[in-house]
Every structure is written in structure tokens, then in C-alpha cells.
Amino acid sequence: MLAFLNQEAFEEKKFMTEKTPICDYEGSDYRTRFWEGQGRDYEDQVERVALRRLMPARGGMLIEIGAGFGRLADEYRGYDKVVLFDYSRSLLREARQWLGDDSRFVYVAGNWYQMPFVNGLFDTLVQIRTLHHAADAPALFQELFRITRPHGHYVLEFASKHNLVAMARYVTRRQSWSPFAPEPVEFVELNYDFHPRWIREQLTSAGFTSGQMLTVSHFRLQPVKRIVPLRLLVAADSFAQLTGNWWQLSPSVFIHNRRLGPGETAVPGQFFACPECTTPLETRIDNSLPCPTCGLRWRVEDGLYDFKEPLFT
């Protein structure tokens, strides 16, 4: 999700873990304010083109990290089980209302630095339009590596600082930060742009093997979108995406990653784990999942598994 909240709203929506700030869209109207009827059909379609190119069409277990209201859920028809994971309970409830009673979907609210899943659970991970809220991307990558099965896939989209608009602004001194420097830039509180080279380095450090890159949203300019028919813009962007392995000059970049080599695969029947102590949670009692090790309990209500904070007795 791209952030639309103003500075005052961020002060209300920002919560802290012990070490890392989290951006919370709880109660926001992100779906109607940013997507529906907002002239972003081009962005939606070209992101779907890139996702289909990089994501295996079929599989067993998939998770979307930062799924929000479920905009991309219809792209996961080939998977047996799909977890829609987000920090916002309200957006996940919107997703559940929209998708209905499809038993393939599991709705989970929680902190992505402490994922409430057992090791080696997922065949495929998808993360689109959310990494720009990661104050500690390396820590996030390490946690996602933990829950990925050996030979699993991780399709990541990130906001690239190394784009033509940023370069032009930097050269003309209309922005202070350099699009060529490798480190991330926080241009608005809890909103980060990343350099493609830095992203590859952090993914490698976490244990992933990075592969194909796609450059996306080359024509994300309102005058262009108003003049050029949508079909032609999507076709042109689809062609231009294939340049991503040679240069990255667009504001959005997709990268396909694998967890190769030996690793842990989840024990059949195990799914959730306590986000505080990582003990598998196997028994549901009175609309909660109690942890047999640390004693914390986690709420289960109206089809939503809530790991944002434990229940208090």
C-alpha cells in the first residue's frame, strides 16, 4: 500500500514494537481513497502483469504480506490455501466481506517482524506496495526467510529511489537526497524508497537467492494516463518491464527470489506459532489460541486470527 495519510494521521497511526515502528492502517479508507475510482487502473493492471510473470501459477500454501483489503486475491486462484496477512484488522475484515466464505482464505493480523507462523510453512510469498513502510527491511527479510519452505518463492515489489524522476529532481537540486546512493531514504515518516542494489544485497544476506527483476509503472504520470488509452499503456509497460535485469529506472521494481538449499519444512498439521516465543499453537480454546510455553493467548474472532497483541485475562 502506498501511504496517503498526512503527518497528523501518522502520529495517530504509528505504533511501536520494542525496537521498530509499525505503520498501522487501522480504520483507514485506503480502498476507496486510493484505489476505487481514483484513476489507478493502469497501476493495478501493470502490477498484475508483473506478478503473473514472477509468481508460480499454482501451489500449496501462499501468503501475501500486507494484503490490505485483498486487491490481488483473485490472482491466487491456483493455490490450495492463501493467507492474507496485514497489520490492519479493519482492512482484513473488508477483504473477508468482499471475498465471502471461500475457505481457501485465512485472514491474519499481526506484526511482520514477528510472524505468527511455524518455520518453513509457505511455498510462495508475495509482497506488493508494502515494503516502503518497512523501517527495518533486513529484519523483515530474515523473518520471511524463516517461514519460507526450501525452494520456496518470494515475489517482492519495492519503491525504487533509482528512478528517472528522482534523478531529474536531484540534478536540478529540487531534492536533497541522492537516487544513486545505496542506502534507503525516508522521504516521509515511515515511507522509504530503496535502491535496487541495496535490496539485492539484503535479500542475499537473509538467505534468499535473487533472480529476475522487472521494472514497472514506467508511465505513472497523470498527463500520460489521461491522453494514452489504458490498453496501450499496459502493453507498453508490459514490454518495458523486461528491461529490469539490465537497468532499473522506474518508480516500482519487482524481484523474484528463491530459498534454495537445505532448510526446515513445516510439520504437517502445524500452522500458527506464538509470535513471542515461536511455539506451535495447536489447540483452539474459547475463541483463542493459547501458547503452552509462554502462556499468552491470541484472539480468534469472526474468521480473523488476531496476533497484534495478546489477550489479557
> How is the chain split into domains, by residue range?
7-263, 272-313
Where is average pLDDT lowest: 10-24, 89-103, 139-153, 275-289?
10-24
Give the three-class secondary structure for 31: helix
Q: What is the DSSP letter of 266?
A: P
Phi then psi dihedrals of residue 85, to 5 deg? -115, 135
Residue pair 287/277 in contact by the 8 Å Cβ criterion:
no
Partnered with residue 205 across adjacent β-strands are: none
Q: Is the pLDDT of residue 17 over 80?
A: no
Cell representation of residue 269: 498439521
pLDDT at 213: 98
**Residue tagged 483489503 (cell numbers):** 69
Residue pair 9/23 in contact by the 8 Å Cβ criterion:
no
- Tell me the C-alpha distance between 58 and 188, whole Å: 37
This model's pTM is above 0.75: yes
CA 204 to chain centre: 18
pLDDT at 10: 34
The CA dihedral of 108, 113, 118, 120, to the nearest 10 degrees, is: 110
Confidence category of residue 261, pLDDT binned at 50, 70, 90 = confident
Q: Which residues, 6+ apart, have CB-to-CB distance to 96 below 8 Å?
A: 105, 107, 302, 303, 304
Q: Is the pLDDT of residue 206 over 70?
A: yes
Confidence category of residue 313, pLDDT binned at 50, 70, 90 = low
Give the three-class secondary structure for 46: helix
- Tell me the C-alpha distance between 134 and 139, whole Å: 9
pLDDT at 188: 94
Convert the pLDDT of each residue in 131-153 to its tens digit: 999 999 999 999 999 999 999 99
pLDDT at 101: 85
* Residue % of the chain over a pLDDT of 90: 91
pLDDT at 1: 38
* Residue % of the chain over a pLDDT of 70: 94
- Tell me the C-alpha distance between 303 and 92, whole Å: 10
Confidence category of residue 13, pLDDT binned at 50, 70, 90 = very low
Q: Is the pLDDT of residue 46 over 90?
A: yes
CATH of domain 7-263: 3.40.50.150
Residue pair 23/190 in contact by the 8 Å Cβ criterion:
yes
Instruction: Tell me which amino acid residue 165 is.
Output: V
pLDDT at 312: 74
Convert the pLDDT of each residue in 175-184 to its tens digit: 999 999 999 9
Q: Is the pLDDT of residue 305 over 50?
A: yes
The CA dihedral of 177, 180, 183, 188, to the nearest 10 degrees, is: 40
Q: What is the DSSP letter of 78?
A: T
In the predicted model, what is the mean pLDDT of residues 246-275?
A: 96
* CA 251 vs CA 22, 68, 219, 238: distances in Å: 23, 21, 10, 15
Dihedral angle sign, alpha carbons of residues 189, 195, 201, 206: positive
